[in-house]
Structure 1
Amino acid sequence: MAKVKTSLATLNRIEHVLAWGLHLLITVLLILVCWRASHWGVWVLSFAYGIVYVLGVVPNPPFKSHRLLWFALLSVLWASLIWDGPEPAYLVFPMFFLIVLITSPLRSALIVALLTAIAIATLAMHLGFSVGVVTGPILGAIIAWVLGISFQLLAQTLKELVDARATAIRASKSAGEQAERARIAGEIHDTVAQGLSSIQMLLHAAEKRIEDPQALAQVRLARETTANNLAETRNIIAALQPQPLVGADLQVALARLASTTPLGQRLSFEVDGVPRALPDDLEAEILRIAQTLVGNVLRHAEATSAKMTLTYQDDQVLLDVIDDGRGFDVADVLRTPSVGLPTAQRRAEKIGGSLIIESTPGHGTGISVRVPHTTTSQGTGS
């Protein structure tokens, strides 16, 4: 999150520097106009131009909702100034940038062309017609328009990148939290819950062999207390399960996972075959594997699109995650200490499945998880 804040601060600094550069340019040009003025009316118009300009750039400007009206007033004052001499005509160059920043590219191009024509006519009136008088304003207009549009596109791209990074960080943090919650739930299930279940069974068996009424009552109380604690432990385990599975079956949870990534619609999800109910623990592990694989795509693949497919076959369930990213050398990655793929592989093996990786540098990655489960399998969550 600190990197996101840094990127936003950098973008704000760039915009701040460019804005102050434009303020400085207009100030210098107005001083030049006043210095070369032939009568006091130019000073009045220059002062009015400066006041209108300031009213459009101060925080919470009065022209905030009427930017074109603000620019129209500046244009009228500029047109009034240019009849005095050639110097006011140079104010048109910062005005090119202003109109590009406050309106659409097409509309700004038309207004820039009109202002350029007025500037050429004015300069020709004062200095005489020449190639420089014509080409100077035209070249200035083209350069200003192109730079202004380029800056807008750059700023928009940077903002989108910052937003995408922030979304990716939030998604990564959420995935990490869910993975940790799932790990704790698994540890509780495999230790505390199983231990309480075993104690309950032993007490139930002992209850049938005890004849002493007092001892029988104590054993029965212990068994009931154990049953209550086991029920509470299972509630805790359920609360720690991955959030996408709450109130949803596996295919709905995977669809929800796919739709909430920074890739958006570029990460598609499909279901192949006839969906069927799976044991709760099996669905949870498949979802955790999917979270890991999708997280790898977001963090490492640099992919422009990806596809996740859940396939139901008669004897197995398959989860495939394919991306068009940069790919990698499978052998090198498996030799390198990491968390993502080894964790997904361990989870697959834990439920009796396997994880197959196919990837080539520069040609994307495909990962398939195959979990045995026949249509006649019976399984319920414990």
Structure 2
Amino acid sequence: MPHSSLPPVFLGLRAGLHVLTAALLVLVAVRVLITGDSIATLALVLVLAFAALYAGGRALSLAPPARRQALGRLWLGGLCAVWTGLMLLVPEAAYLVFPLFFLLLHLLPRPWGEIGVLAATALAILALGLHHGFSLGGVVGPLVGAGVALLIGLGYQALAREAREREELLAELLATRSVLAAAEREQGVLTERSRLAREIHDTVAQDLSSIQMLLHAAEQSSPDGAGMEHVRLARETAAHGLADARRFIRELAPEDLERGLGPALDRLARGIAQRTGLEVEVEAPADLDLPVAAQVALLRISQGALANVAQHARADRARVQIALEDGGVQLSIADDGAGFDSSGLAEGTTGVLAAAGAASRPDSFGLRAIAQRAADLGGTLQIDSAPGRGTRLVVRAPLPDSEVPRP
């Protein structure tokens, strides 16, 4: 974990470890200078070597991640070797075992960290015993220090694990926010395209169609009348304008609806099958011609429903059916999966929204999204399901009289 990302408690523990190490090294150096015996020079060299090696540990963060662990253990081994040599010369050097406890627990995996702490404790007790003779204080002191270090080390590891989980959760939330923002932008674009398509259909296209029919009626009522050539030319111009308006409407539809809702559902079924293995059968009229807004909503409902089936239903097969009914369109999606208790989902959009909002199932968000799209169409959503017998979802949406496809 980078130093800059450590929580304050970690920074405090690290700073305390550095201060403790520096204070103990000063203690050892003062002890060597006071005694001034024949080993003073060698002892001071080892003190400086320990200090330099300890300070050089900060360079480990600059090492490549793949080699950082191995270099850290090598660095720890060097510290332990210098410390062992220093203990043979100066008994007070045994107290450097306390910062070493934390380094052993931090750099070595379990249980090797704990084993290293016990081995270092034994060396410290042995060194104190060789210099001053074995005593209760010389044994209990390092043992108590080892116990405290183990408890602090376990707490540190728990805090570090919690910090990592928090960072992972934050990263996931940021990624989710980006995905939601992209989805909202895409939905905004689709909504605006659908709105433009409806506006063109309801205004320019309808007016051109009416003009074309009126001119055609005038042409038929008096085929040889004066100015009929101009009427014929006006009718042809209106026909060209109507064709252009319809082309604009088609181009404003989403790319996956370029060839119509039926082919878009076929592509969706193939994609689901390739990604998840779920076999999806699509039944849709080949010449189905619905308004752009209805096509977009029905395609998105199908995508959401099939995603729920693939993720939660444990189904092998699913069927998507679209049919025209009196004054509207019906979308049905059924699967042979595990199903669930749908008794709490009342018939109609409002009931489904309320029940799905209170549900604890992992697909409740998908149900809310599907119900909302059905509501946007002015339609209803019905769900029929039971444990062990699959699920059937039916969306019924009305179409304005002018937009109902004619045979």
Secondary structure in 2 aligned to 1:82?
helix
Partners in 2 of 1:78 and 1:329 — Cα distance? 71
Counterpart position of 2:167: 159
Q: 1:71 aligns with which of 70, 76, 81?
A: 76
Partners in 2 of 1:54 and 1:82 — Cα distance? 20
**1:17: how far off?**
4.2
- Ranges in structure 2 where 5+ consecutive residues have no aligned partner: 258-262, 323-331, 358-364, 386-390, 398-403
Counterpart position of 2:250: 234
Q: 1:98 aligns with which of 77, 97, 103?
A: 103
**1:48: how far off?**
1.7
Counterpart position of 2:381: 354
Verify the 8 A CA contact 2:101 2:146 in the aligned structure 1: no
Counterpart position of 2:240: 224
Verify the 8 A CA contact 1:351 1:371 in the aligned structure 2: no
Query: What is the number of equivalent residue pairs in this alignment?
Result: 336
Give the AA of the match of 1:30.
Answer: L
Counterpart position of 2:394: 370
Matched, 1:32 2:27: yes
Secondary structure in 2 aligned to 1:312?
strand
Partners in 2 of 1:181 and 1:18 — Cα distance? 52
Partners in 1 of 2:161 and 2:61 — Cα distance? 24
Partners in 2 of 1:56 and 1:311 — Cα distance? 60
Q: 1:80 aligns with which of 78, 85, 93?
A: 85
Counterpart position of 1:312: 319
Matched, 1:23 2:18: yes
Secondary structure in 1 aligned to 2:395?
strand
Give the AA of the match of 1:109.
Answer: E
Query: Cα distance 1:63–1:313, how it changes in 2: closer, same or farther (>3 A)?
Result: closer
Query: Cα distance 1:29–1:71, how it changes in 2: closer, same or farther (>3 A)?
Result: same
Verify the 8 A CA contact 2:197 2:252 in the aligned structure 1: no
Cα deviations by residue, 1:243-275 (Å, 9 ceiling, x for unpaired): xx989733466789xx9xxxxxxxxx7857744
Larger radius of gyration: 2
* 1:287-366 correspondence runs (5 A): 288-289=300-301, 311-312=318-319, 316-318=332-334, 334=354, 344-349=370-375, 350=377, 352-355=379-382
Give the AA of the match of 2:118.
Answer: A
Secondary structure in 2 aligned to 1:36?
helix
Counterpart position of 2:114: 109
Cα deviations by residue, 1:5-27 (Å, 9 ceiling, x for unpaired): xxx98755555444333333322
Verify the 8 A CA contact 1:81 1:88 in the aligned structure 2: yes
**1:51: how far off?**
1.7
Cα deviations by residue, 1:138-162 (Å, 9 ceiling, x for unpaired): 4145224423432442233222212
Query: Cα distance 1:317–1:135, how it changes in 2: closer, same or farther (>3 A)?
Result: same
Query: Cα distance 1:329–1:85, how it changes in 2: closer, same or farther (>3 A)?
Result: farther
Query: Cα distance 1:51–1:167, how it changes in 2: closer, same or farther (>3 A)?
Result: same
Counterpart position of 1:263: none
Matched, 1:188 2:196: yes
* 1:2-13 correspondence runs (5 A): 11=6
Query: Cα distance 1:99–1:237, how it changes in 2: closer, same or farther (>3 A)?
Result: farther
Verify the 8 A CA contact 2:284 2:321 in the aligned structure 1: no
Verify the 8 A CA contact 1:293 1:321 in the aligned structure 2: no
Give the AA of the match of 1:191.
Answer: E
Give the AA of the match of 1:224.
Answer: H
Alpha-carbon RMSD: 5.0
Partners in 1 of 2:28 and 2:284 — Cα distance? 81
Give the AA of the match of 2:297.
Answer: E
Partners in 2 of 1:317 and 1:293 — Cα distance? 7
Partners in 2 of 1:77 and 1:60 — Cα distance? 22
Partners in 1 of 2:373 and 2:393 — Cα distance? 10
Verify the 8 A CA contact 1:311 1:317 in the aligned structure 2: yes
Cα deviations by residue, 1:300-352 (Å, 9 ceiling, x for unpaired): xxxxx96697942779325999999xxx9998x849x9xx8776434224274
Verify the 8 A CA contact 1:120 1:134 in the aligned structure 2: yes
* 1:227-306 correspondence runs (5 A): 227-239=243-255, 249-251=267-269, 271=278, 274-277=281-284, 284-286=296-298, 288-289=300-301
Verify the 8 A CA contact 1:182 1:240 in the aligned structure 2: no
**1:276: how far off?**
3.9
TM-score by length of 2: 0.62
Verify the 8 A CA contact 2:27 2:92 in the aligned structure 1: yes
Verify the 8 A CA contact 2:216 2:235 in the aligned structure 1: no
Query: Cα distance 1:172–1:81, how it changes in 2: closer, same or farther (>3 A)?
Result: same
Query: Cα distance 1:251–1:152, how it changes in 2: closer, same or farther (>3 A)?
Result: farther
Query: Cα distance 1:195–1:162, how it changes in 2: closer, same or farther (>3 A)?
Result: same
- Ranges in structure 1 where 5+ consecutive residues have no aligned partner: 1-7, 260-268, 298-304, 359-366, 374-378
Partners in 1 of 2:298 and 2:337 — Cα distance? 12
Q: 2:124 aligns with which of 119, 130, 144?
A: 119
Which stretch of the first structure deviates more once superposed, 190-199 or 286-295?
286-295
Give the AA of the match of 2:374.
Answer: A
**1:62: how far off?**
5.8
Counterpart position of 2:181: 173
Verify the 8 A CA contact 1:317 1:372 in the aligned structure 2: no
Give the AA of the match of 2:44.
Answer: W
Give the AA of the match of 1:238.
Answer: P
**1:231: how far off?**
1.7
Percent sequence identity is 19
Secondary structure in 2 aligned to 1:249?
helix
Counterpart position of 2:401: none
Secondary structure in 1 aligned to 2:90?
coil
Counterpart position of 1:49: 50
Give the AA of the match of 1:285.
Answer: A
